[in-house]
Chain A
Amino acid sequence: MDYIPNTDEDRVSMLATLGLSSIEELFKDIPQELKPFSFNLPAGKSELEVFRHLQALADKNNTRLISFLGAGFYDHFIPPAIESITSRSEFYTSYTPYQAEISQGLLQALYEYQTAISSLTGMEISNASLYDGGTALYEAAMMALRITKRKKLIVDQGVNPIYRKMLSSYTKNLNLGLREIPTSEGLADREKIKNTLDKDTACLILQNPNFFGGLDDFKDLFQLAHRNGSLIIISVYPLSLGIVKSPGEMEADIVVGEGQSLGLPLSFGGPYLGFMTTLKKYVRQMPGRIVGETVDKRNRRGFVLTLQTREQHIRREKATSNICSNETLCALSALIYLVLVGKEGIKELSNLCRDKAYYAIKSLSKIPGIKMRFPAPIFNEFVIELPENCDAIIKKLLKKGIVAGFPLSRYYKGMENCLLIAVTEKRTKEEIDLFARTLGDVLQ
Chain B
Amino acid sequence: MKLIFEKSVKERRATKFPASDIPPALELPDNLKRREEIGLPELAEIDIIRHFTALSRNNFGVDTDFYPLGSCTMKYNPKLGEIIAKNKGFSDLHPILPQLPDGNSLTQGALEVIHRTGRLLSEITGMSEFSMQPLAGAHGELTGMMIVAAYHREKGNKKTRVIIPDSAHGTNPASSAICGYEIISIPTDRKGVMDLKEFGKELNEEVAAVMLTCPNTLGLFNSDIGKIAAMAHSADSLMYYDGANLNAILGKCRPGDIGFDILHLNLHKTFGSPHGGGGPGAGPIGVKEGLKKFLPISRVVKNSKGAYFLDYNEPASIGYIAPFYGNFGVILKTYIYILTLGKEGLIKVAENAVLNSNYLLSHLKNYYHLPYNRTCMHEFVISGKRQKKKGVRALDIAKRLLDFGFHSPTIYFPLMVEEAMMIEPTETESKETLDRFVEAMIKIAREVEENPEIVKNAPHNLSVSRLDEVKAARELKLRFPVS
One of A24-32, A189-197, A225-233, A366-374 at the interface: A24-32
Q: Which residues of A contact B336 (CB under 8 A)?
A: 50, 54
Contact A322 B175 (CB under 8 A): yes
One of A199-207, A348-356, A436-444 at the interface: A348-356
Contact of A115 among B64, B249, B377, B480 (CB under 8 A): B480
Contact B42 A104 (CB under 8 A): no
Contact A118 B479 (CB under 8 A): yes
7 interchain residue pairs of minimum CB distance? A269-B324, A58-B89, A44-B342, A60-B109, A105-B59, A169-B319, A329-B276
Query: Can you sample 24 A-B contacts with CB below 8 Å?
Result: A4-B427, A11-B355, A26-B355, A37-B254, A41-B120, A58-B88, A61-B108, A63-B88, A90-B59, A93-B62, A114-B478, A115-B3, A119-B40, A131-B279, A132-B323, A163-B323, A267-B85, A298-B465, A304-B469, A326-B136, A355-B20, A355-B24, A395-B102, A428-B18
Q: In the complex, which range does the number of interface residues on chain B fall in?
A: 35 or more
Q: Which residues of A contact B171 (CB under 8 A)?
A: 312-313, 322, 324
* A137 to B: closest C-beta gap in Å: 10
Contact of B407 among A65, A99, A249, A283 (CB under 8 A): A99
For residue B196, CB closer than 8 A to chain A, the reply is no
Contact B101 A407 (CB under 8 A): yes
The interface on chain A, measured as residues whose beta carbon lies within 8 A of the other chain's beta carbons, has a size of 207
Contact B174 A319 (CB under 8 A): yes
Q: Which residues of B contact A85 (CB under 8 A)?
A: 49, 52-53, 56
Contact A302 B277 (CB under 8 A): no
Contacts A10-B430, A125-B479 given; 10 further ones with Cβ under 8 A?
A39-B123, A41-B120, A47-B80, A50-B339, A99-B408, A327-B280, A345-B15, A355-B25, A359-B22, A377-B28
For residue B463, CB closer than 8 A to chain A, the reply is yes
* Beta-carbon nearest neighbor of A161 in chain B: B320
Contact flags (1/0) for B71-103 with A, using CB distance below 8 Å? 010111110101111111111111111011111
* A244 to B: closest C-beta gap in Å: 6
A293-B477 contact in complex given A90-B63, A266-B91, C-beta closer than 8 Å: yes
A295-B471 contact in complex given A57-B113, A169-B320, A325-B281, C-beta closer than 8 Å: yes
For residue A14, CB closer than 8 A to chain B, the reply is yes
Contact A101 B80 (CB under 8 A): no
For residue B346, CB closer than 8 A to chain A, the reply is yes
Q: Which residues of A contact B23 (CB under 8 A)?
A: 355, 359
* B23 to A: closest C-beta gap in Å: 7
Q: Which residues of A contact B17 (CB under 8 A)?
A: 345, 348-349, 352, 425
* Complex Cα gap A292–B479 (Å): 7
Contact A403 B94 (CB under 8 A): yes
One of A150-158, A178-186, A332-340 at the interface: A332-340
Contact B91 A241 (CB under 8 A): no
One of B139-147, B231-239, B381-389, B447-455 at the interface: B139-147
Contact A73 B95 (CB under 8 A): yes
A3-B34 contact in complex given A96-B277, A270-B324, A398-B103, C-beta closer than 8 Å: no
Contact flags (1/0) for A87-104 with B, using CB distance below 8 Å? 111111111111111111
For residue A215, CB closer than 8 A to chain B, the reply is yes
Contact B319 A168 (CB under 8 A): yes
For residue B431, CB closer than 8 A to chain A, the reply is yes
Q: Which residues of A contact B187 (CB under 8 A)?
A: none
* Beta-carbon nearest neighbor of A71 in chain B: B96
Contact B280 A102 (CB under 8 A): no
* Complex Cα gap A351–B25 (Å): 8
For residue B399, CB closer than 8 A to chain A, the reply is yes
A4-B349 contact in complex given A61-B89, A116-B40, A249-B36, C-beta closer than 8 Å: yes
Contact A356 B22 (CB under 8 A): yes
Contact B483 A119 (CB under 8 A): yes
* B73 to A: closest C-beta gap in Å: 10
Q: Which residues of B contact A173 (CB under 8 A)?
A: 146, 149, 179-180
Q: Which residues of B contact A57 (CB under 8 A)?
A: 89, 109-110, 112-113
* B62 to A: closest C-beta gap in Å: 4
For residue A15, CB closer than 8 A to chain B, the reply is yes
Contact A269 B469 (CB under 8 A): no
* Beta-carbon nearest neighbor of A171 in chain B: B180
For residue B459, CB closer than 8 A to chain A, the reply is yes
Contact B280 A271 (CB under 8 A): yes
Contact of A246 among B34, B85, B280 (CB under 8 A): B34
* A417 to B: closest C-beta gap in Å: 14
* Complex Cα gap A14–B362 (Å): 10
CB contacts under 8 Å to A, within B439-483, are: 457, 459, 462-469, 471-473, 475-480, 482-483
Contact flags (1/0) for A127-159 with B, using CB distance below 8 Å? 011011111000000100000000000000000
Contact B279 A94 (CB under 8 A): no
- Residue among B33, B82, B324, B408 having the largest count of chain A Cβ atoms under 10 Å: B324
Q: Which residues of A contact B370 (CB under 8 A)?
A: none
* Complex Cα gap A293–B462 (Å): 17
Q: Which residues of A contact B118 (CB under 8 A)?
A: none
Q: Which residues of B contact A292 (CB under 8 A)?
A: 472-473, 475-478
Q: Which residues of A contact B483 (CB under 8 A)?
A: 119
Contact B138 A267 (CB under 8 A): no
Contact of A242 among B31, B38, B175, B329 (CB under 8 A): B38
Contact B469 A306 (CB under 8 A): yes
Contact B45 A244 (CB under 8 A): no
Contact A1 B341 (CB under 8 A): yes
A269-B480 contact in complex given A14-B431, A44-B341, C-beta closer than 8 Å: no
Q: Which residues of B contact A63 (CB under 8 A)?
A: 88-89, 92-93
Contact A294 B472 (CB under 8 A): yes
Contact flags (1/0) for B212-223 with A, using CB distance below 8 Å? 000000001111
Q: Which residues of B contact A319 (CB under 8 A)?
A: 170, 174, 177
* B240 to A: closest C-beta gap in Å: 14
Contact B97 A316 (CB under 8 A): no
A44-B279 contact in complex given A60-B108, A217-B32, C-beta closer than 8 Å: no
Q: Which residues of B contact A93 (CB under 8 A)?
A: 61-64, 77, 274-275
Contact of A266 among B28, B52, B84, B92 (CB under 8 A): B92
Q: Which residues of A contact B163 (CB under 8 A)?
A: none
* Beta-carbon nearest neighbor of B352 in chain A: A4
* Complex Cα gap A406–B279 (Å): 30
For residue A79, CB closer than 8 A to chain B, the reply is yes
* B140 to A: closest C-beta gap in Å: 10
Contact B277 A296 (CB under 8 A): no
